[in-house]
Amino acid sequence: SQKIEQNSEALNIQEGKTATLTCNYTNYSPAYLQWYRQDPGRGPVFLLLIRENEKEKRKERLKVTFDTTLKQSLFHITASQPADSATYLCALDPGTGGSYIPTFGRGTSLIVHP
């Protein structure tokens, strides 16, 4: 069956370090993958989208990689700040069956300590 895996344990890092979050998937052939940020009591906020033919995409302090061989995406936040503390969700489209509406992972909580 199709599965999206994000680490359920919170990632704790010190301010200024690079945070790296992982999204693994099985039985998907996604055409694209998205990353969202969600703060408590709020809806997810779109951050980045990367397509299957793109290896890497950057936006300010954010970087996303997409390895379709490993079936994995990595999400990096460089020079992390306490304000980056939130839950980060990946979403990927099914890639088959004509529907390209993405499915979301459960998210990983990031805690940046000052």
Partner 1 sequence: DAGVIQSPRHEVTEMGQEVTLRCKPISGHDYLFWYRQTMMRGLELLIYFNNNVPIDDSGMPEDRFSAKMPNASFSTLKIQPSEPRDSAVYFCASSLQGGTLYGYTFGSGTRLTVV
The least CB distance from residue 57 to partner 1, in Å, is 13
Interaction of residue 104 with partner 1, rule CB under 8 A: yes
Round to whole Å and give the CA distance between 37 and 87: 6
Please report, in angstroms and rounded to a whole number, the separation of the first and last CA atoms in the chain.
41
Beta bridge partners of 59: 62
Tokens of 15: 């301010």
Please identify, using beta-carbon distances, which residue of 13 and 32 lies nearer to partner 1.
32
> Token pair 């306490």 is at which residue?
82
Interaction of residue 42 with partner 1, rule CB under 8 A: yes
Helix spans in 4-101 (H): none
The least CB distance from residue 22 to partner 1, in Å, is 16
Among 107, 108, 109, 112, binds partner 1 (CB under 8 A): 107
Among 21, 23, 86, 89, binds partner 1 (CB under 8 A): 89
52: Cα separation from own chain's centroid:
14
Name the site residues for partner 1 (rule: CB under 8 A).
31-32, 34, 36, 41-47, 49, 89, 93, 99-107
